[in-house]
Amino acid sequence: MSPCLELGFSTLRWAEGSLLLLDQTRLPRIQIEMHLHTVAELVDAIQRLCVRGAPALGCAAAYGMVLGVLDAKQPSEWLTQLRASGALIAAARPTAVNLAVGVAQMLAVGEQLAAATDADADADVDVWTALLLDAAIAFHDADADACLAIAENALPLVPDGSTVLTHCNAGALATGGLGTALAPLHLGHARGLRYHVFADETRPLRQGARLTAWELARHGIEVSVLADAAAATLLASGKIDLILVGADRIAANGDVANKIGTFPLAVLAERFHIPFYVLAPATTIDPQCAGGAAIPIEQRDAEELYGEDGARTGVGVFNPAFDMTPAGLVTHIITEHGIYQAHGAGQSAWQAYVNSLSL
């Protein structure tokens, strides 16, 4: 990341044989890193949202594959542990496809290393592990590069003085770099542009109020938090120029799964003629998923919504972590490769782009 864009924290990093994660369950009050040494610890951290956001989950998965083989002594043991780690990590949360992408890329590296070694040879698995770590770091670096390219591509859509609405946290805390939806804001701000950002609180886990507000304010970007239910009133007021959100998985037809509460914003954006932009790296596009209906939506614990009262009163809870926004409601999808529209005049260019990703 370029020095002018140093945000003063690391969402995740590898240091001295362990994975360090900024524990996002403690933000904004406490900024503390967790030291993870095992895949079981990582799966727990992912499920509790200590690390979260699709691209950051992909990077965590890549490093997690290294954790999985740290204590392997023999080549066969190394490969077995790598495969088992991949299965555990990929299953930790279902919606963000980046998790599976991080696992698959490291698995491919590991399988290639094993295949390139004579079966009878006494391979040095420490060398394999070092090479796997190099691949995980490269995966992380590529995510940071993608974030910067998304920021550059989206910057013309976010002119100086814009008032922006965002949902959840799709910033540096959610990626291996500057973020996706928040990346053009960080970049523009560093270049002297001024914005006012409204951050939806994002019930029930409050990623907007706890994480987006913290991340933007510490970079000096003006930010106001609103209750999710106030978004319609804000949008009707005419104050918002554009909406920027991230994505957990984008289907081949351009349908977008993102944090619960994104879909109603897209409906409101159409109602009030406000541009609705989805920003995501290509690793979030799933060419195998034909449409949004095929995207698995994570259902989270009742307790997150209703606390202990739910158990006490026997009241049921509906707590999906994500919703699906149909492609037709998305003004543009911005990736590191360009600006796309998955419907209307842009549809064939989008399809060609998606097809190129599955090659």
- The binding site for ligand MRU (CB under 6 A) comprises 49, 52-55, 96, 168, 170, 174-175, 180, 207, 246-248, 258-259, 321
Q: Between 123 and 266, whose beta carbon lies closer to ligand MRU?
A: 266
Angle between helices 54-67 and 39-47 (to 10 degrees): 160
Q: Which residues contact 291 (CB under 8 A, 6 or more apart)?
A: 251, 252, 253, 255
Collapsing DSSP to helix, strand or coil, 244 comes out as strand
Select from 108, 181, 101, 171 the least CA-distant residue to 142.
101
Q: Give min distance, CB of 69 to ligand MRU, in A.
A: 26
Q: Give min distance, CB of 78 to ligand MRU, in A.
A: 30
Bridge partners of 337, per DSSP, are none
Residue reference for tokens 């209703």: 306
Q: How far is CA 297 from CA 289, 323, 345, in A?
A: 13, 7, 29
Compute the distance between CA of residue 155 and CA of residue 111 in angstroms, rounded to an integer.
40
Q: Give min distance, CB of 270 to ligand MRU, in A.
A: 20
Q: Give min distance, CB of 48 to ligand MRU, in A.
A: 11
DSSP states along 5-49: G--S--SEEEETTEEEEE-TTSTTT---EEEE-SHHHHHHHHHTT
Residue 335 in contact with residue 348, Cβ under 8 Å?
Answer: no
CB-closest chain residue to ligand MRU: 246
Q: Between 133 and 295, whose beta carbon lies closer to ligand MRU?
A: 295
301-323 in b/e burial notation, b at 16+ Cβ within 10 A? ebeeebeeebeeeeeeeebebbb
Strands of the chain (E only): list them. Answer: 12-15, 18-22, 33-36, 163-166, 196-200, 222-226, 242-245, 249-251, 256-259, 276-279, 285-286, 322-325, 332-335, 338-340
Compute the distance between CA of residue 348 and CA of residue 353 in angstroms, rounded to an integer.
9
- Catalytic (active site) residue 248: yes
Q: Give min distance, CB of 211 to ligand MRU, in A.
A: 8
Q: Give min distance, CB of 147 to ligand MRU, in A.
A: 8
Q: Between 180 and 335, whose beta carbon lies closer to ligand MRU?
A: 180
Collapsing DSSP to helix, strand or coil, 163 comes out as strand
Q: Which residues contact 268 (CB under 8 A, 6 or more apart)?
A: 231, 232, 235, 274
Q: Between 18 and 283, whose beta carbon lies closer to ligand MRU?
A: 283
Tokens of 194: 């001024």
Q: Between 235 and 260, whose beta carbon lies closer to ligand MRU?
A: 260
Q: Between 248 and 286, whose beta carbon lies closer to ligand MRU?
A: 248
Bridge partners of 251, per DSSP, are 286
Q: Between 122 and 318, whose beta carbon lies closer to ligand MRU?
A: 318
Catalytic pick from 200, 248, 286, 323? Answer: 248
- Catalytic positions: 248
